[in-house]
Structure 1
Amino acid sequence: MAHNDRHMNGQHHPNSILDQFELPPTKKTKRHLARLRTAWRKSWEEGGFLHQRWEEVGQSRHASWHEIANWIKTAALFGGLSLIVLMLDAAGDIISATLKGLSNVPATSASDGSGLWGTVDHPIRVFLADQATHLAITPAALYAFWQLTGLLGLVGGFFGNAGARIAWVLFGIGSLAMIWSAAPAGGRAAATGLAALMWALASIFALRGLTLRPIVHNHPPQYQFNPALHLHATLPAPTPAGDDLAPDNVHPLQR
């Protein structure tokens, strides 16, 4: 029955709306496709555009940066910049999420002044909470920034970053000052000394490889001094025999 519906009176009836818009390829379309296939084939022949570009890609593996084709340099720089932008965007999201998570932690939680870490951490929390009352910021945000600074200084200093090591030194000095200011008067010296020892132990990793000894470079001199004495003597030319111009008091030696 369906077969009869499609072929009634010798005519073909389309089974969908898409069949109604299918048009046979024209001669002009066929000519364009033939030209594209010909151009594609010629571009991959020896001396063609795509063949030359492929040869430049192969040669770039063994060439220096100055010998690489300009279009490869441009593509590499564009790809590198795009990757850096993506990494910075991802790092910004991670840091933002970290700060937000740390800010949600109450400033007075997890530390009541007891224990080894509480002796150092509690005065810092108290100092930051007291200072936050005079600033347009929450104590938790101040404490989160203090933690993040110490973490970045420790990790960056471990990998030899100069800025991170400076941040680590300032982090330690600031922490000691806060502990001295907010610790109880009776145990102020002990709390500050304990914090200094803990900071010094952590500095083994943050400041690894750093030395205070002067670096002496022994290089050979760039010039050499070779003294030499040059004497210039002018000898008179010999007078030929029978010269009338010779002085009268000069006589030949006779026996």
Structure 2
Amino acid sequence: MPSNDKPVNGQENPSFSDLIDQAPPPPVLELDGKHRTRRLARLRAAWKESWEEGGFLYQRWDEVFRARHASWHEIATWIKAAALFGGISLIVMMVDAAGDIASTTLRGLSVVPAVPTAGDGSGLWGTVDHPIRLFLADQAAHLAVAPAALYVFWQLTGLLAFVGGFFRNSGARIAWLLFGCVTLAMVWSASPAGGRTAATGLAALMWALASIFALRGLTLQPIVHNHPPQFQPQFSPTLHLHAWLPAPTPAGDDFDDEPDNIHPLQR
């Protein structure tokens, strides 16, 4: 059987199955009244030989050990294939799980009664949720849309804004702030007059607690980035001096025709 491994020291590196076939048949041994087969002995001999320096398993382990400090192009092909297969399998599992979660969430959101009943206003969540459903049901009577559709849209808006804000999306955080303001307004409008302040305050506290996660990392302090200028002009002042020298005196001129107080400049 041909081997796909690189030759070691100028010799072909045998594969694991070749080592099994080339191993000498050991003598039959007895243990507790039973005989060990030659096949088992060959496997043991091939296993030990493959872990020796230059063996098949020794080289594979060495490739795994060196892959920690090597670049992607230097990693062995079989390691790349295993990593890609594992990554693709993980992505498929995550997409499948996300699809199931989204389907379950949408099914739960869609199962909403068209008109809220009197028993829906019990508990902390009911104190906030019941006025919202009453408000949407009252407004849907004047619109060409079902109250359940408005309620589901309100829930989806809050869910998407919360998830997007958690991942620090600016648009989702703006939607989350608008969602909170609109929710507080609906609770204030549809709550009973006697408990309107308490219901609105409770809704504000719930929204503030959820904002801890939806607005995580948001700060009101200005962020100052000090970056050095990319271009720094270089100033190198220079001083230019111009000296004028008189023309050289022609040969044979004895200066007899010049006044005695004028002498030529000597360099």
Mapping 1:87-126, distance limit 5 Å: 87-104=94-111, 106=113, 108=116, 112-113=120-121, 116-126=124-134
On the 8 A contact 1:111/1:122 being kept in 2, the answer is no
Q: For residues 240 and 254 of structure 2, what CA distance do their matches in structure 1 show?
A: 27
> 1:148, CA displacement in angstroms?
5.1
TM-score (norm 1): 0.58
Aligned partner of 2:263: which letter? H
Q: Deviations over 1:70-122 (max 9, x none)?
A: 88667755653553343123211111112213433546368543554433221
182, 204, 227: which one aligns with 1:219:
227
119-128 vs 76-85, which deviates more?
A: 76-85
Change (3 A) 1:156 1:227: closer
TM-score (norm 2): 0.56
193, 213, 217: which one aligns with 1:205:
213
Identity of aligned residues (%): 65
On the 8 A contact 1:153/1:168 being kept in 2, the answer is yes
Q: Which has the higher helix share?
A: 1
167-176 vs 109-118, which deviates more?
A: 109-118
On the 8 A contact 1:158/1:205 being kept in 2, the answer is yes
Q: Deviations over 1:154-193 (max 9, x none)?
A: 4554454545534422321231233244334665565444
Q: For residues 106 and 245 of structure 1, what CA distance do their matches in structure 2 show?
A: 128
On the 8 A contact 1:111/1:121 being kept in 2, the answer is no
Structure 2, unaligned runs of 5 or more: 16-55
Aligned partner of 1:93: which letter? D
Structure 1, unaligned runs of 5 or more: 1-36
1:150 aligns with 158
Change (3 A) 1:168 1:114: same
223-232 vs 120-129, which deviates more?
A: 223-232
Q: For residues 75 and 130 of structure 1, what CA distance do their matches in structure 2 show?
A: 59
2:23 aligns with none
Change (3 A) 1:228 1:235: same
On the 8 A contact 1:154/1:206 being kept in 2, the answer is yes
69, 84, 93: which one aligns with 2:91:
84
